[in-house]
Structure 1
Amino acid sequence: MSGTERDLVGYGAVPPHARWPGGARVAVSLVLNYEEGGERSVLEGDDGSEGYLHEIVGAPPVAGGRDLNVESMFAYGARAGFWRVHRTLSAHGVPLTVFAVGRALERNPDAARAMGAAGWEVAGHGWRWIDYREVPEEAERADIARTVETIGRLTGRRPVGWYTGRTSPRTRRLVAEEGGFLYDSDDYSDDLPFYAAAGGRPHLVVPYGLDANDFKFLIVHGFTTADDMLAYLVDTYDTLHAEGADRPRMMSVGLHCRIIGRPGRIRALDGFLRHVAQLGGGWVATREQIARHWLATHPPD
């Protein structure tokens, strides 16, 4: 993500044995992106409305004004979608990691308290749900600090993980320099955690994924029905489960309140969790749990 060199080799043909707890073949990381209320809006001083990841696919943002339709679609995620996801996960008794935008969390403290009460990990996802590539370094640094403070105050625990998504070239270094993070997830390049150099020392990366991700409901040629997403999740898990007989892997599942939280889509999450439980061999864990396991089992050289 940062620097001029790209690592296209990674672990090569023989990755390390993950040694997941209980002999699990697959570590399953469920991630809920909580962004509603942190998106672009002239109410927040932006130059236009949000134009990304909403139900009117391809509609351009409103320059210099509000798009009330888009605002209400995002509001659905906070008002209704979040609670539908919360009920589904509670029914299955599984944990997840929240990638929480600080401003969004601040605007719905009830959701923040529910995350903490459920024992979910809440990781930082930027102060605003914006592209940080053009944000000045000191402003990005300040946003990281502000997000840390907000998550700690609202959930009762400071974040130990970070995912910006639309990063700047400085993001990983700033996260490492902050000093309180175990890992970041601004990477999509592997099926296992790995170390990268950042801030002058080894820094753990717990990679994320955009393939097994509900955002594909809101892009052209993506998922159309819950069955589409469910089939892809099941195929992914089954492949990793088979490979895990020799070398255990990790699977990331990306979720959004305003997307998977819709009644016509939630069955994909419910069905996938039922499949994992029936087939077995899965360790459904937070990214913090995965990071702590990797740091203890495969410490940096």
Structure 2
Amino acid sequence: MSSRRSFIRQSSILGIAGIMGNTRLKAAVGTDAHVRFKERTKWSDGSRLVISVSMQFEAGGQPDNSESPFPQNMQKGYIDLPAASWYEYGYKEGIPRMLDNWDKSGIKVTSHMVGSAVLKNPDLAREIVQRGHEAAAHGMNWATQYTMSYEEEKKFIKDGAEAIRKTTGFTPKGYNANWLRRGKNTLKILQELGFTYHIDDLSRDEPFVIQVDRKDFVVVPYTLRCNDIVLIAGSNFSTDQFFNQVKAEFDQLYAESEFKKRMMSISFHDRIGGSPQMVKTTAALLNYMQQQKGVVFKRKDEIARLALNDPHSIRE
């Protein structure tokens, strides 16, 4: 059975056939036209499939008794100390281990940083940037920003970004809301504050450009399907299940990328993705992906720039 793309192309040809002669039709859909068609679907830098890796830097910025693998049955007035130590693992062990893994694989990632976590662990935040990774904003703390007023939310976003800039010297250009739940004013605020993209969208498998106050703004889609907090912490996947889930996603997107611009997103959280078993599994995944021709890993700010400068980017 023909693919959807082949069906659309064949339907277009049949429509043209009623207007053009057979000789002219053959010329119009010949090899050269097919090559041009394929070239328009590629990334502007010649990449075949772009992979975007997120490393969430949240631990240390969480409120007391935040969600954790422990039962949510703490009595009022008491602090869940074991759960707090689970978060501590993120900045004591998780991120340092992941940073070494990224270096071994030769890739750069985007770290979405909570402002209060950065202030609590400034040396680690600086190390992330010094090792060539992108620092993106993730709010000042774990507050629910969609309930905030315009002024409150603007201060919340700005304070988080300033904590990153003053600590690392890196000015964030990307944003991620807590659990992706932005408010009705979020994009306008981000545009006003000089951000160029956000990730709180699951609607496509490639970046696209939207209009915010009649100006271009990029969406670099995020993922729940290839996300350790959903699969490992939330669904109790084994590392084998995680490997197979992400590999299946990659294989399908890689096949589609022969004829269509494709981006794959994978997300790791400091206290989850930085565990020994997950880092080992991730290394195996990265090795598998890097063996495929045309696969590249890019930071999200790089992806956003490519999308903005590509006249063939989807615009909504």
What TM-score comes out, normalization by structure 2 length? 0.82
Q: Report the AA paired with residue 228 of structure 2.
A: D
**Which of 121, 124, 148 is the matching residue for 1:111?**
124
SS at match of 1:195: strand
**Structure 1 residue 142, shift from structure 2 partner:** 0.5
Which residue in 2 is equivalent to 1:185?
199
**Structure 1 residue 110, shift from structure 2 partner:** 1.4
Q: Report the AA paired with residue 56 of structure 2.
A: N
Q: Are 1:170 and 2:185 an aligned pair?
A: yes
List per-residue Cα deviations over 1:243-265 (Å, max 9, x = no partner).
00111200000100100111122
**Which of 263, 266, 274 is the matching residue for 1:261?**
274
Assess if the C-alpha contact under 8 Å between 2:203 and 2:221 holds in 1: yes
1:62–1:151: structure 2 CA closer, same or farther, 3 Å change rule? Answer: farther
**Which of 72, 91, 97 is the matching residue for 1:78?**
91
Q: Report the AA paired with residue 281 of structure 1.
A: G
Which residue in 1 is equivalent to 2:105?
92
Assess if the C-alpha contact under 8 Å between 1:226 and 1:266 holds in 2: no
Distance 1:276 1:231 in 2: 13
List per-residue Cα deviations over 1:223-272 (Å, max 9, x = no partner).
52211111111111111110001112000001001001111222221111
List per-residue Cα deviations over 1:103-148 (Å, max 9, x = no partner).
1111101111111111101100111123222233222111111112
> Structure 2: where are the runs of 5+ without partners?
1-7, 10-36
Q: Report the AA paired with residue 212 of structure 2.
A: A
1:266–1:27: structure 2 CA closer, same or farther, 3 Å change rule? Answer: same
**Which of 42, 65, 73 is the matching residue for 1:19?**
42
SS at match of 2:66: coil
**Structure 1 residue 31, shift from structure 2 partner:** 0.3
**Structure 1 residue 50, shift from structure 2 partner:** 0.8
Distance 1:175 1:198 in 2: 9
More helix by share: 2
Worse-matched range after superposition: 190-199 or 269-278: 190-199
1:113–1:244: structure 2 CA closer, same or farther, 3 Å change rule? Answer: same
Root-mean-square deviation (CA, aligned residues, Å) is: 2.2
Distance 1:236 1:281 in 2: 16
**Structure 1 residue 22, shift from structure 2 partner:** 5.1
Which residue in 2 is equivalent to 1:55?
69
Assess if the C-alpha contact under 8 Å between 1:39 and 1:130 holds in 2: no
Q: Report the AA paired with residue 49 of structure 2.
A: V
Which residue in 1 is equivalent to 2:24?
none
**Structure 1 residue 100, shift from structure 2 partner:** 0.6
Q: Report the AA paired with residue 310 of structure 2.
A: T
Q: How does 1:249-288 map to 2 (within 5 A)?
A: 249-288=262-301
Which residue in 2 is equivalent to 1:31?
54
**Structure 1 residue 177, shift from structure 2 partner:** 2.0
Q: How does 1:173-252 map to 2 (within 5 A)?
A: 173-178=188-193, 180-215=194-229, 216-219=231-234, 222-252=235-265
**Structure 1 residue 212, shift from structure 2 partner:** 0.5
Q: Report the AA paired with residue 188 of structure 2.
A: R
Q: Report the AA paired with residue 26 of structure 1.
A: L
1:192–1:62: structure 2 CA closer, same or farther, 3 Å change rule? Answer: farther
What TM-score comes out, normalization by structure 1 length? 0.85
Q: Point out the structure with max Rg over C-alpha.
A: 2
Q: Report the AA paired with residue 269 of structure 1.
A: T
**Structure 1 residue 21, shift from structure 2 partner:** 5.4
Distance 1:64 1:166 in 2: 28
Which residue in 2 is equivalent to 1:158?
171
List per-residue Cα deviations over 1:38-95 (Å, max 9, x = no partner).
1122xxxxxxx212xx222x52465444211111100110111111101111111100
**Structure 1 residue 29, shift from structure 2 partner:** 0.2
SS at match of 1:233: helix
1:61–1:189: structure 2 CA closer, same or farther, 3 Å change rule? Answer: farther
Q: Report the AA paired with residue 193 of structure 1.
A: P
Identity percentage over the alignment?
Answer: 29
SS at match of 1:258: coil
> Structure 1: where are the runs of 5+ without partners?
1-12, 42-48
